[in-house]
Structure 1
Amino acid sequence: MALVSVDRARGLLTVEFQGLDKLWTLKSRLEIPLAHVRGATHDPGIAREPKGLRVGGTHFPGLITAGRYLHKGERLFWDVKNPDKAVVIELADAETYDRLVVEVDDPRATVALVERSLTRD
């Protein structure tokens, strides 16, 4: 599972991986500039879509998809065991990924957090 947080002062969206997810994803955290975040959606159905070519990470069909994947020219980062809790974070001008697909404890709250971070005061 991942913890998503926003630091508006530093202009960063941070995704921290918990427990064994660090092993499955080969990462402990991702930091994405808020300027590169386009939005987020709760999308349980994405787990049924093709993942593409695994570049680094873990995939056991029906159990876990984690790590870096390439699909039709798109760079994806996955960390999902329970598709019902999958959140997709869309990125623009991304240096490393086009989309992050992560499992979170509360998908609605995470989507709201990301969407609020995009509003300019």
Structure 2
Amino acid sequence: MALISIDRERGILTAEFQGLDKLWTLKSRLEIPLAHVRGATHDPGMAREPKGVRVGGSYFPGLITAGRFRRNGERLFWDVKNPEKAVVIELADAEHYDRLVLEVENPRATVDLIEQSISRA
């Protein structure tokens, strides 16, 4: 699971990975400039779509999707075990990823936080 936080002073969205997710994703955190965040949606259905080719991380169908994937030229970063808690963060001008698909504790609150933060940026 990822903990999402916003640092408005620095203009950064941070996704901090918890517990074994650090091992599955091969990352402990991602920092994305708010200027590169286009929006966020709560999208449980995304986890049922094809993942593409795993570039780094872990994939056990039906259990966990974590790490870097490529699909139709798109670069995705996943950290999902429970699709019902999946949030999709769309990125623009991203250096590394086009979308982040992350499991969070409270998807609606996370989407609200991100949407409010980018509307003020």
Structure 2 residue matching 1:118: 3-state secondary structure: helix
Give structure 2 stretches of 5+ with no counterpart.
none
**How many Å separate the matches in 2 of 1:16 and 1:42?**
18
Number of the residue aligned with 1:30: 30
The letter for the 2-side match of 1:85 is K
Give structure 1 stretches of 5+ with no counterpart.
none
Identity %: 80
Number of the residue aligned with 1:8: 8
The letter for the 2-side match of 1:38 is R
**How many Å separate the matches in 1 of 2:37 and 2:8?**
12
Q: 1:119: how far off?
A: 1.4
Residue pairs, 1:38-117, within 5 angstroms: 38-117=38-117
Q: Report how many residues are paired.
A: 121
When normalised by structure 2's length, the TM-score is: 0.99
The letter for the 2-side match of 1:36 is H
When normalised by structure 1's length, the TM-score is: 0.99
Number of the residue aligned with 1:21: 21
> What do you get for the CA RMSD once the two structures are aligned?
0.7
> C-alpha offsets along residues 36-77 of structure 1, whole Å, 9 cap, x if unaligned?
000000000001100000000000000000000000000000
What stretches of structure 1 move > 6 A for 4+ residues in a row?
none
